[in-house]
Amino acid sequence: AEYMGGEVVTTVPTIGFNVETVEYKNIKFTVWDVGGQDKLRPLWKHYYASTNGIIFVVDSNDKDRANQAKAELHKILGEDEVRNAILLVFANKQDLPNAMSTEEVTDKLGLRSFGSRTWFIQGACATTGEGLYEGLEWMSANIKKVQG
């Protein structure tokens, strides 16, 4: 389930991937929900052109896959087309009792190793929408700086 415009929308697991355009504070976000499908990952790089910002959603409750998430994130951010893109990480599922804190997710993903890249981590709960607007607010303000 995900939170969209005041209502919770239940989604089915991504087959292939979904593309939507979302507008927030006069910024158009083209959102590719590429899910976690290994087979599709080599195709991701074809969508990086003109990317100003990346939103990376992490399951804070899945400590076992944190290293895999780190590897994917670092691979994405290593691509030349996204060298100037800002990064917003949503540490999702913060409502669950065993979820990693944003500090722990920061460490597990190695966010401090990105040098001059502008990044922000926001605790979130997609089912209630908690944290989503705060993250988009940060993205909106910082994308405007990147675009000049």
Instruction: State the catalytic residue, choosing from 37, 68, 94, 147.
Output: 37
CB atoms inside a 10 Å sphere around CB 106: 16
Active-site annotation holds for 37:
yes
Tell me the two tokens of residue 106.
């920061």
Provide the CB-side half-sphere exposure for 56 (13 A, CA). Answer: 26
Please give the sequence-ordered ranges of beta strands (E in DSSP) within the chain, or none if there are none.
2-4, 7-9, 18-24, 27-33, 53-59, 86-92, 119-123
Residues serving a catalytic function are: 37
